[in-house]
Amino acid sequence: MKKSPRVADDGRAPGEIPLSEIEAILEGRHTNPFAVLGLHKLKDGFRARCFVPGAEAVTATALNGTELGELTRRHEAGYFEGLVNASHLQPVRYRARRGDDEWAVTDPYSFGPVLGPMDDYFVREGSHLRLFDKMGAHPMKHEGVEGFHFAVWAPNARRVSVVGEFNGWDGRRHVMRLRGDTGIWEIFAPDVRAGSAYKFEIIGKNGKLLPLKADPYARRAELRPDTASVTAPELNQKWEDDAHREFWEKADHRRQPITIYEVHAGSWRRKPDGSFLTWDELGAQLIPYCVDMGFTHIEFLPITEHPYDPSWGYQTTGLFAPTARFGEPEGFARFVNGCHKVGIGVILDWVPAHFPTDAHGLRHFDGTALYEHADPRQGFHPDWNTAIYNFGRIEVLSYLINNALYWAEKYHLDGLRVDAVASMLYLDYSRKEGEWVPNEYGGRENLEAVRFLQKMNMLSYGAHPGMMTIAEESTSWPKVSQPVHEGGLGFGFKWNMGFMHDTLSYLKREPVHRRFHHNEITFGLIYAFSENFVLPLSHDEVVHGKGSLIAKMAGDDWQKFANLRAYYGFMWGYPGKKLLFMGQEFAQWAEWSEARELDWNLLQYHPHEGMRRLVRDLNFCYRSKPALHARDCEGDGFRWLIVDDAENSVFAWLRLAPGEKPVAVVTNLTPVYRENFRIPLPNEGRWREILNTDAEIYGGSGKGNGGRVQAVNAGGDIHAEVTLPPLATLMLELEQQV
């Protein structure tokens, strides 16, 4: 075969590569430098080839410093090669010189791969459940050298490099090795240290250089506005939570008291200068506060890395990285450990429904629609201007499922509240006719998303039985919280959006009109046990012009506080687990803003401090009385006592648990003070007033029953004559049965 004139005139020695390949490496066009660079066994012995920008001379050495040979510079940009005195293939280190300067470079191309054929097999099968230990950046000692292993999925890329502080952001220095069976690119980068910023430089299949991409599996990221990923050591946390985890692994969550404090970590409190608290500072204040308030769990709005503060974390670009806003990842682990030591669980808002279209994120990751659908009718979310994950792609499912498992394993999280489940389940969600693609049967159900959610729940509960998953699902999709083997989605709980909507609608009305809307309170009990429900008074109700909960209540200021106190008593007595967004426990007037801390100064005023005391007492009452929580999700734990008194807007019911004292909950939702109001009760005897939302200590008028009422049997009709304070809820527990 006749050689091209350029190669023929090269003057290269046997074994030396053509100038065209050298230029391809120097120009970043070479797609497989591992075939060229590093140490290679050829017919004439062992030959070393390297690219060391800026070097004038290079000596190859073994790792122990033994000189293997001086290399010849074949290009002034820093390309060297030559025969070396090696006896076997081994990692090579180069001693580079330029003038009086000398430095050492360990050759990344002289190391073998880290991933193996079993990784390839499980990745292709979609059954790899340890991807968080394989993908991304991990410190390791490989073939005798400390460094970081990088791996990223980009099957349609022509070339992928890891770039960062360690190589001057030069994409020619660490071009990665393609594993053809999986589309994963990997490289071991020797001598890279923890704390180094990095991204992936990707050339698409059309030869176009893409914007630098952050690592989808990065375990640490830069603080916004910077967007690089950061190499991180393996999480080093001395966990002291065996008792906490063992309890929840054995517990039936449905029958445990669960009262959740929903928190936005960036605005619960701030430092005096307005900056964020670190995880350690947050732990020193938030954990004791929640212990004192009686909450069993803290649920954080997403704390995964995100570029834009007003997204509250719901548009995340780093699902595996705790945001840098509050310090290093170890700080979050210490926070969780601190919570567990005092018996508080930690739940993370998790967002597998969509992702933002920021240039450094997942969108068109390798130049193609990789994580998202290519068709905008399937891959673009019109509500949030975000991209929708392609749930039909095995690698995308593995990415998301591994993320769910990662938080449970590495950070010992107690639960995931899955955001925007309804948007995942329906192909026509927020879309008009013709703007969506039907499923294979012509329906609007997203069957791929259903399979994803079922698999995620099965694997999460299978690997971590102490976990709970909670769906924010706003429609009547059946069996959200039923087991997968029974045709359900497999969640542990579902947010009861109907309860929130109906009760707030009712309480916004002036009391004189409430009798016409009685069913807004009673309707919820028709479906209250169709799912395992969490009753949410969440952040969604106090943003975007909706005002705070206290501001929603009808009437003047006195009535607003009384309404809200009665509402909280009603809710804590209602079947279902409880969730309250921060600031609402002391009736913050202002609508919540992520840009500033809560209005803690309000606690100096008795109505606000009284509200806080009430929520505290409700939590401890709910937790200490099995009748109020042990059958939250089962119909035998509830019985109406008064259901149809629309004229007086009075509701009463019984909460029950086997072998426990029953608790009667009575709510008067008008400002009318009612004496000698007849309440039917199941047992004769003395009933103790264990809670009264109108108590003076809570800011109420102090009306009540002196702590007790007597139930009598009048011709087979057991009842008590009860004083009903205005706009108030009472809880009565059977104290002594006749």
CA distance 732 to 681: 10
CA distance 26 to 30: 8
CA distance 98 to 105: 13
- Please check whether residue 190 is in contact with residue 91, taking contact to mean a CB–CB distance below 8 angstroms: yes
CA 229 and chain centroid, separation? 18
- Please check whether residue 657 is in contact with residue 631, taking contact to mean a CB–CB distance below 8 angstroms: yes
Peptide bond into 662 cis (omega under 30): no
Residue/partner pairs of 235-239 with CB below 8 Å, 24 or more apart: 235/329, 235/330, 235/333, 235/410, 235/411, 236/330, 237/330, 237/333, 237/334, 237/337, 238/337, 239/337, 239/340, 239/412
CA distance 692 to 565: 9
CA distance 538 to 419: 12
**In whole angstroms, how far apart are CA 478 and each of 1, 438, 492, 499, 633?**
70, 20, 14, 17, 16
CA distance 52 to 108: 12
CA distance 255 to 633: 8
Structure tokens at 230: 């950061």
State whether residue 109 is helix, strand or coil.
Answer: helix
CA distance 260 to 574: 15
CA distance 726 to 694: 8
What is the phi/psi pair of residue 599, to 5°?
-85, 70
CA 273 and chain centroid, separation? 28
Q: Catalytic site residues?
A: 419, 472
What is the phi/psi pair of residue 102, to 5°?
-140, 140
- Which residues have C-beta within 8 Å of that of residue 653, sequence separation ≥ 6? 573, 638, 639, 640, 641, 642, 643, 664, 665
- Please check whether residue 561 is in contact with residue 587, taking contact to mean a CB–CB distance below 8 angstroms: yes
CA distance 577 to 494: 10
CA dihedral sign of residues 299, 305, 306, 307: positive
Question: DSSP E strands: which ranges in 86-226?
Answer: 93-98, 101-106, 136-142, 145-153, 157-164, 177-179, 184-190, 197-204
